[in-house]
């Protein structure tokens, strides 16, 4: 019998608070019982049901790390653990919660007016209203400062023009946070669905993150009142601060996907017989599992450390970059290795490994690419800026 559990090799469970452990267990059971049976079909169909938002809302997961306005006020660690459990199911589940809680509710909470908070946060916490985050454009991905979307004044109103690309939840969102260039630099705007001139178009034929809606946002002379602007956000630092929140969830989430792949591979290796023995008894398979286990355990330790630093107020953006850089590429390597252990079965949706490997290609790219985070880390270590 195994002496180390694949899901917690280092016994980090003991370092969690009771409420963190309970929440983690609740979400783990919910994902396994209620969602995982349907995930392969959603992935195959390229969709994610809108109703999931309400179910996440009932569990208190939307904007869970925010205070007031119907939000749970949970710790960064609790938020991270939830992200890990959701992404152990599928990256699309974690993405929905990341976008809603970290990329939409957080900026309204941090930068919004009291009216904006009252209008959107309680309804978003329950999942009744959904939001999306529009930063990326067809010609501005890693370099959002080069965005072309503009917001110009017309009296007290704002007129927005431009295109946002690759926007998670875009076409099903009730409100989009759109980042646009004004005469005074970048600002954020709340653009409700149905505003004249604002349309969306879904992006199809994705081979990764299929259980997630991804859309283009088109803004053609969209007129907004002055009250649509986020008053507290000024400059590129606004959206980058917001990204810091979501990226911490990804540090945990990607590790959750890796853990799910490790667990599946261990189980398979113990039971699949070739040459008269379980394939897990071959040294080559054990070497693969050892490498995967080491990566998953190190990733869990890193994620927990970053969340505790956030709680202590010592977490810097470059720490978060290190976490995303390290845990996402490790998760992708683990998912691919798990796939080899499962042989042909590994390429199907019967097992989670190829689906996770495909999803993690997106995670490697969004919220700052692997390369961008290596350069943030390189800049922090050398004091020399590779971007400019």
Return the active site residues. 367
Q: How far is the CB of 173 from ligand TGC (least distance, A)?
A: 12
Kindly write out the interface string for residues 164-193 of this chain, putting x where it contacts ligand TGC by CB under 6 A and - elsewhere. Answer: ----x-------------------------
What Å distances lie between residue 324 and 41, 165, 319, 364, 367, CA to CA? Answer: 28, 22, 9, 8, 9
| 372: contact with ligand TGC by CB under 6 A | yes
| 99: contact with ligand TGC by CB under 6 A | yes
Q: Quick one: which segment of 40-48, 68-76, 304-312, 364-372 binds ligand FAD (CB under 6 A)?
A: 364-372
**What span, in angstroms and rounded, lies between the C-alpha atoms of 376 and 354?**
30
Q: How far is the CB of 206 from ligand FAD (least distance, A)?
A: 6
| 99: contact with ligand FAD by CB under 6 A | yes
What are the respective helix, strand and coil percentages of the chain, to the nearest 5? 55, 15, 30
Q: How far is the CB of 165 from ligand FAD (least distance, A)?
A: 7
Residue 187, phi then psi, degrees to nearest 5: -135, 160
Binding residue for ligand TGC (CB under 6 A) from 62, 243, 292, 315?
Answer: 243
Binding residue for ligand FAD (CB under 6 A) from 100, 214, 285, 326?
Answer: 214
| 111: contact with ligand FAD by CB under 6 A | no
53, 42, 43, 35: which is closest to 89 by C-alpha? 35
User: Between residues 28 and 355, which has the closer beta carbon with respect to ligand FAD?
Assistant: 355
Binding residue for ligand TGC (CB under 6 A) from 241, 305, 309, 370?
Answer: 241
Q: How far is the CB of 320 from ligand FAD (least distance, A)?
A: 15
**What span, in angstroms and rounded, lies between the C-alpha atoms of 122 and 69?**
5
Binding residue for ligand TGC (CB under 6 A) from 42, 62, 81, 98?
Answer: 98
**What span, in angstroms and rounded, lies between the C-alpha atoms of 246 and 241?**
9
Report the b/e string of 38-74 with b at 16+ CB within 10 A: ebbebbeebebeeebbeebbebbbbbbbbeebbbbeb
| 168: contact with ligand FAD by CB under 6 A | yes
What Å distances lie between residue 111 and 13, 127, 202, CA to CA? Answer: 35, 21, 29
196, 152, 179, 314: which is closest to 242 by C-alpha? 179
Binding residue for ligand FAD (CB under 6 A) from 136, 285, 326, 329?
Answer: 136
For strand 150-154 and strand 131-134, is the pairing parallel, antiparallel, or unpaired? unpaired
What Å distances lie between residue 149 and 137, 139, 155, 194, 278, CA to CA? Answer: 8, 11, 19, 19, 58
Q: Quick one: which segment of 24-32, 54-62, 93-101, 196-204 binds ligand TGC (CB under 6 A)?
A: 93-101
Q: Quick one: which segment of 31-39, 74-82, 289-297, 366-374 binds ligand FAD (CB under 6 A)?
A: 366-374
Beta strand ranges found along 50-174 (DSSP E): 67-68, 71-72, 131-134, 150-154, 157-168
Q: Which helix (H) or strand (E) holds 199?
A: strand 198-202
Q: Which of residues 198-227 bind ligand TGC (CB under 6 A)?
A: none
Decide: 353 and 339 in contact? Cβ < 8 Å: yes
Q: Which of residues 118-147 bind ligand TGC (CB under 6 A)?
A: 133, 135-136, 142, 144-145
User: Between residues 130 and 269, which has the closer beta carbon with respect to ligand TGC?
Assistant: 130
User: Between residues 133 and 351, which has the closer beta carbon with respect to ligand FAD?
Assistant: 133
| 237: contact with ligand TGC by CB under 6 A | yes
Residue 339 neighbours by CB under 8 Å, 6+ apart: 346, 347, 353, 354, 357
User: Between residues 34 and 371, which has the closer beta carbon with respect to ligand FAD?
Assistant: 371
Binding residue for ligand FAD (CB under 6 A) from 369, 377, 378, 379?
Answer: 369
Q: What is the contact surface with ligand TGC in residues (CB under 6 A)?
A: 95, 98-99, 133, 135-136, 142, 144-145, 168, 235-237, 240-241, 243-244, 317, 366-368, 372, 376, 387-388
List of residues contacting ligand FAD (CB under 6 A): 99, 133-136, 141-142, 166-168, 209, 214, 362, 365-366, 369, 371-372, 375, 387
């Amino acid at each position: 019998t195994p002496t180390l559990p694949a899901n917690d090799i280092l016994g980090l469970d003991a370092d969690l608070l009771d409420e963190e452990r309970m929440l983690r267990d609740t979400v783990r059971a919910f994902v396994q019982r209620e969602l995982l049976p349907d995930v392969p079909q959603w992935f195959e169909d390229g969709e994610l049901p809108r109703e999931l938002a309400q179910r996440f809302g009932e569990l208190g997961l939307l904007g869970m790390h925010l205070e007031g306005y119907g939000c749970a006020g949970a710790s960064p660690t609790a938020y991270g653990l939830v992200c890990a459990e959701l992404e152990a199911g599928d990256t699309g589940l974690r993405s929905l919660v990341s976008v809603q809680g970290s990329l939409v509710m957080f900026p309204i909470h941090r930068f919004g007016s009291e009216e904006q908070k009252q209008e959107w946060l309680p309804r978003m916490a329950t999942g009744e209203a959904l939001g999306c985050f529009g930063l990326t454009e067809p010609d501005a991905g890693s370099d959002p400062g080069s965005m072309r979307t503009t917001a110009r004044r017309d009296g007290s109103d704002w007129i927005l023009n431009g295109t946002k690309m690759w926007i998670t939840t875009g076409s099903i969102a009730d409100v989009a946070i759109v980042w646009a260039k004004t005469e005074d630099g970048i600002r954020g705007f709340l653009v409700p669905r149905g505003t004249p001139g604002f349309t969306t178009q879904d992006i199809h034929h994705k081979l990764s993150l299929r259980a997630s809606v991804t859309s283009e946002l088109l803004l053609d002379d969209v007129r907004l009142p002055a009250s649509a602007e986020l008053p507290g956000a000024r400059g590129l630092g606004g959206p980058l601060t917001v990204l810091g929140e979501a990226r911490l969830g990804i540090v945990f989430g990607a590790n959750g996907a890796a853990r799910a792949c490790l667990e599946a591979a261990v189980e398979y290796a113990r039971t699949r017989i070739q040459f008269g023995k379980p394939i897990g008894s071959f040294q080559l398979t054990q070497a693969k599992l050892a490498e995967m286990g080491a990566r998953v355990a190190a990733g869990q330790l890193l994620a927990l450390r970053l969340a505790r630093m956030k709680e202590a107020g010592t977490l810097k953006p470059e720490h978060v970059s290190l976490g995303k850089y390290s845990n996402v590429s490790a998760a992708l390597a683990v998912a691919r290795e798990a796939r080899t252990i499962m042989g042909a079965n590994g390429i199907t949706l019967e097992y989670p490994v190829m689906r996770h490997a495909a999803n993690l290609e997106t995670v490697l790219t969004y919220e700052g690419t692997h390369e961008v985070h290596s350069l943030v880390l390189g800049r922090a270590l050398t004091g020399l800026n590779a971007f400019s």
